Amino acid sequence: MQQTSKFAYVVAGVAAMGGLLFGFDTGVISGALLFIRQEFALSALQQEIVVSAVLIGAMLGAFFSGQVTDRFGRKKVVLITALVFAFGTIWAAMAQNMIGLAYGRLVLGMAIGVASFCVPLYISEISPPAMRGALVSLNQLMITIGILVSYFVDDACARLGLGWRVMFLCGVVPAIALFVGMLFLPETPRWLMSKSRDAEAMNVLKKLLPSDEAAAEAAMIRQTMGEAENQGTLRDLLAPWLRPALIIGVGIMLIQQATGINTVIYYAPTIFQMAGFTSEISAITATVSVGIINVLFTIVSIRLIDRLGRKPLLSFGLLGMSASLVVLGGAFFFETQLGGLLKWIAIGSMLAYIACFAISLGPIAWLLISEIYPTTIRGKAMSVATLSNWGFNFVVAMTFLSITETLGKPGAFWLYALVGVAGWVFCRRYVPETRGVTLEAIEHNLKTGVPAKDLGKV
Ligand code: BGC
């Protein structure tokens, strides 16, 4: 491997530690909740508040991150975010009641919201063009690894009787690693050039690319930057020609969240307890298998995405997720007849569900929003899609336990299955195949009014 490519991998790897924190801090609540709800005697609504506080914070973070990263630079914002991660973690771990915990998790959520926007942006701006796809997908892989690590931590702490505070506190380690690692990383050439710091930008580019390519890349950044100044306003975001891309971005995020992924990520041990893994330890152990499958199938997806294309994976994944949810709901519907079998059907269908998510909606939703917007408006459009992702996530997390109480467990899972089928129809009708298409071709199609589904056609 060339020296310059190695440098790009190291840079992206360190920055993707932000993805790991995103995964860890959203996943850790699943096992911790079993202990927190006992210690603070929480009702279903109060549990939902503890889980969802992170999501409100993330919405705030995602909303403001566009402006702050443009103003202060990507590197500085990631550095500060690492500190906020550490601070929010300690706050939540020290909480003496539900309100303190909710505030700590809110602060933590802000860091997650900023990271979910800023890390992929940093990586995509620092990556040599030929490696961009793989390096951006590294972030989703790190999210799933973060979730898995959080499940292992929950498992170990439950076994050793260390309790939920230690579970949370483990999140300080990757936060410090991100902070220290980031101190040694460069600012992105694109941001430096936007502040007319061209000489510094050139130094960074020379480390990332062979010298002749570095000069060409600098020229290209300067050209797009000129166009961006002319076009990238908020009004452009609402321009009719851009509407199909906005609908696809927000639509894919709605489908990613409303098919219930985070009821599994945040509440897996709770669901496993409902299904008959009664002890905290067995419920958390079953959850670790969910985390492992999530990581493995994300790797499978990254390998297939450029070969098979996005749409076949999305179709397969959505139908598979819906079928698994129908089975999971059915298992709870026939609870009394199934007896001891219930928990095995529950774990089987949840693993199938997560595998189908991980090869489709998990990576593809984030990948699509980095592909379908014209360069000049990408930052703003991506932050709209990111914000909507957290908004939908919030609504689902906030309502899961209450829906379970009103509709019953079968009703809740069947409802998500129905959304999956509707999502499948939406993807078939509106989502374009973007495999191997240049961003310029997509932009041209958008501007000439080509239907959403055909945006990837050349
Ligand atoms: C989603 C998260 C989810 C994670 C699970 C991400 O793509 O945006 O909401 O928790 O995947 O792996």
* Per-residue model confidence as pLDDT tens digits over 10-48: 888 888 899 999 999 988 988 898 899 999 999 988 988
The answer to whether residues 65 and 118 touch, using CB atoms and an 8 Å cutoff, is yes
Q: Is it the case that residue 272 has pLDDT exceeding 60? A: yes
Q: Whose CA is nearest to atom 11 of ligand 1?
A: 362
Between 177 and 134, whose confidence is greater? 177
Contacts of 69 (CB under 8 A, 6+ apart): 77, 117, 118, 121, 191
Atom number, ligand 1, closest to the C-alpha of residue 361: 7
As a whole number of angstroms, the distance between CA 84 and CA 366 comes to 24
Question: Is the CB–ligand 1 distance for residue 262 below 6 Å?
Answer: yes
Q: What is the DSSP letter of 110?
A: H
The answer to whether residues 118 and 58 touch, using CB atoms and an 8 Å cutoff, is no
Residue 100 has a pLDDT of 94
Atom number, ligand 1, closest to the C-alpha of residue 362: 7
Question: Is the CB–ligand 1 distance for residue 137 below 6 Å?
Answer: no
Residue spans per domain, the chain? 3-185+228-454
Looking at mean pLDDT, say which of 163-172, 214-223, 237-246 comes out highest: 163-172
Q: Smallest Cα–Cα separation from 316: which of 348, 360, 259? A: 360
SS (H, E, C) 13-51: HHHCHHHHHHHHHHHHHHHHHHHHHHHCCCCHHHHHHHH
Per-residue CA distances from 236 to 232, 243, 246, 260 (Å): 6, 10, 11, 33
The answer to whether residues 243 and 301 touch, using CB atoms and an 8 Å cutoff, is no
Q: What is the mean pLDDT of residues 312-334?
A: 96
Atom number, ligand 1, closest to the C-alpha of residue 116: 8
Question: How many angstroms is it from 40 CA to the middle of ligand 1?
Answer: 28
Give this prediction's pTM.
0.86
The single-letter code of the amino acid at 339 is: G
Residue 255 has a pLDDT of 98
Percent of the chain at pLDDT exceeding 90: 50
Q: Is it the case that residue 69 has pLDDT exceeding 70? A: yes
* Per-residue model confidence as pLDDT tens digits over 194-223: 888 989 999 988 888 888 888 888 887 787
Question: Is the CB–ligand 1 distance for residue 89 below 6 Å?
Answer: no
Question: Is the CB–ligand 1 distance for residue 261 below 6 Å?
Answer: yes
The answer to whether residues 416 and 325 touch, using CB atoms and an 8 Å cutoff, is yes
As a whole number of angstroms, the distance between CA 116 and CA 81 comes to 11
Query: What value does the mean pLDDT of the chain take?
Result: 89
Structure token pair of residue 278: 């009664």
Q: Whose CA is nearest to atom 3 of ligand 1?
A: 262
Coarse DSSP helix, strand, coil percentages of the chain, rounded to the nearest 5 percent = 85, 0, 15
Atom number, ligand 1, closest to the C-alpha of residue 257: 9
Strands (E) located in 293-402: none
As a whole number of angstroms, the distance between CA 49 and CA 56 comes to 10
Q: Smallest Cα–Cα separation from 377: which of 256, 222, 246? A: 246
Structure token pair of residue 118: 């800023």
Residue 231 has a pLDDT of 54
Q: Is it the case that residue 373 has pLDDT exceeding 60? A: yes
Q: What is the mean pLDDT of residues 305-319?
A: 92
Q: pLDDT confidence of 130, banded at 50, 70, 90?
A: low
Contacts of 237 (CB under 8 A, 6+ apart): 246, 377, 380, 381, 384
- Placement of tokens 């098979």 in the chain: 308
As a whole number of angstroms, the distance between CA 235 and CA 238 comes to 5
Q: Is it the case that residue 316 has pLDDT exceeding 80? A: yes
SS (H, E, C) 147-198: HHHHHHHHHHHHHHCCHHHHHHHCCHHHHHHHHHHHHCCCCCHHHHHHCCCH
Superfamily of domain 3-185+228-454: MFS general substrate transporter like domains (1.20.1250.20)
